[in-house]
Structure 1
């Protein structure tokens, strides 16, 4: 009886799987960085149209080479309110088709190009100064490692052909496709990559350890196992995000159920349209046509699934809502940032921008309420400003922490610059909030001490307040929309400086004539100084926008 070297087998399997997974990750990162702006553009054009949503899912997943990554993105978008349930489900359906590109790539049997691809990729990554070429270097290295890992795994399975125990076990899968599907699902849940388990299935079939029928059942199970990632990502998310993850599971699970019933017919059809006999054995003892048949099983299954379920997507959305009932109660203090999106920097940056927009909205609201609270001496407005100030402080800390984590991931030069500028912008927004809070405290002191401005001081204070609010509003709108050309005139900052000087001089005249008291005069000057600093911080944000336009 042939003795199997279990240590050697384990090392080859784990080493090959490690190379495969690392290659997949490197290729995916390179593709994301290379297509970063395109990826964002595609997602921004997503509409409620289910067919466009499915198409977007196919394209994005083909770019990132991971349906799990796309599903996690979708869960994050839904959780952040960037996408509704119907949109999310259509994208997930498309993602299932997009991820089959990996299997088709593997089936081309171009492992001879693995080492040249690694060599060329390393050269581009290390010696090129052009970021785009460096990204392509990463893609080539990942591509080469993927095929090298598959080759190592395939060679590692060869000795198992001599084991009677393993042959009988794998024959059992051929007779019991349901068990094979469960095994495929469990393996995918364990590895957390349907592409990796697809590679293992192709390696098993290519060495003859499992036949085409058992491999097809394995593939069915892998389509269920890959949904676990999105469902893990949905833990702690809102109900709509959980429904999106559940929908991903239901699509694949229901599809696998009807396909297992029709498996004989399905495998026969794929065999008929795919060249070669999957059972054919070459001189080296391998099955050269098995990989193409398995890849086609994977692709055709998901294409059929999208044809079946896309027209019913509204019904499936309702089903998900029935299974997970109730409504999300929005929390005003809840942070919309999702760390699960950090692995896809383009999406994480987009989500961070949404939070910065919300933060700037709070800061502007504080400034407007500070003006009103001072003139109307309203305690409710003052208390609301204090609440918002706590929110703005918390948001600066949480957005900053998120951006630091995001900055440590591979990304495009454009995203790197964007994150760096956002770090400065959130600091300036937070300072504007601080100054608004200080003005609210002055208003509170005026109420407690029953103080009030003279008519002339009130007019001047209203005038400089209006300019500061207008300037902040324009700058925030320009930053949040990216259309800074509309607000390129930053003359308001100079106007605030001039007003401060002029109004201080006017104030000295009123003090000399006894129109204003010394106590009110001190408050008046302090508020002018705070509004001048508000203008300075808004101007800092405007400068960031100018640099972005020039860069």
Structure 2
């Protein structure tokens, strides 16, 4: 017996570690695949589906009811948020809808005693995803295959975890654990949550509670408390998913925990009256509800109650979560000079916008410089900083709109509009740098990297032009402006020569045509990047000159 017990303990630990590893590996592959393959097209589609609260809520409900797994929707939503394809506001309402949609499992068990398990699709998903990744040549299908394989691995991990603990559900006597009063209900909540965590399936816990209530093994209130616990136990999956994830994914997981925790507390506090009201409403039809049917209705009703509670609370909760789990990039994206009080003083507002645009220029310049270095940085590093540039540009635009609501001199109004234009140039520099880094990383697996001296020299010229465009000049320093203009002209001239050289290499076979096309896209994008940086410099210098002239004009009046 001791040897048998040791084997059983080892199998339990091995199954738990293996299942957890598969789960986390699947989540990583799913996130990476979606981020690489989805791009702006997937973001647009998801944005259309979840653009408003009702649509996001309905999407979560409908998809969860269809696939019969809130885990699939919760994990996919966190994955989308992790990949930056869904905003926090969109994600939380999908999660809320998912909690309502998962109650369909209780109805299936109560009505026909049958539960659809999405885990049955795990192995085909892994196989199809692996084939796509191994045999497709285009980048997007390959990474979609990676995401599909990750999806399958994720649910295979859940299945392994459930199998590791499947014997537990047959050894726990719920009836023996019930106690009278509120303490007994808390025990049943804990049991429901624990079983969901151990078996990694709230559906299994729900089915156990329904069966126990139907057989009379536990009182109706105790079974309802176990259902609340099963609902609460699903939050553990969300917490597992966000290990090593982005701050936005952690915020979505936290919203999931807050929603389920608040719903569980309210439902438990009003449990006797809630069950009585449901039974009374159902009984008005002249037909006494079966315990299983009553519990299914209770499960749906208290999740809908949770959604109703979140309607006024979602906004403050989202604002609170946005201040949590912050990264250095998100701190960079927070404006330092755009104080709302200065928006009412146009002269001060213009100066604040210029200072904030200067910060934006420094961030964009650093991204562009790194993208043109011999070894571009990791994708997630640039992506996060590019998102910071996007957020900071949006903040400058919104500040300009608030300022425009106040009366101001025409010259100041023109200056504010010009500052918005300059900010857009800097945003374009960061976006182009991101594209260059992505194109250059595609060569990491090439057998023969292309690193000719002519290309190296051109990169150095482009970096020098960028540095001169971003270098702050002294008032009226024509020498700096001339040096920047000459550097940009040199890049333009060298671009034509480098393009001709690449075309020769591709034509005569010393360079693969696909690699030639990629290199041409890189230098073309870099040329545009330098041009945008030069536009930002010229417009900034012209605006600063106008402001200096305006101040000199006003000085005698102020004197």
How would you bin the TM-score normalised by the shorter chain? 0.3 to 0.5
User: More relative contact order in 1 or in 2 (CA 8 Å, sep 6+)?
Assistant: 1
Superposition TM-score, scaled by structure 1 size? 0.47
Superposition TM-score, scaled by structure 2 size? 0.46
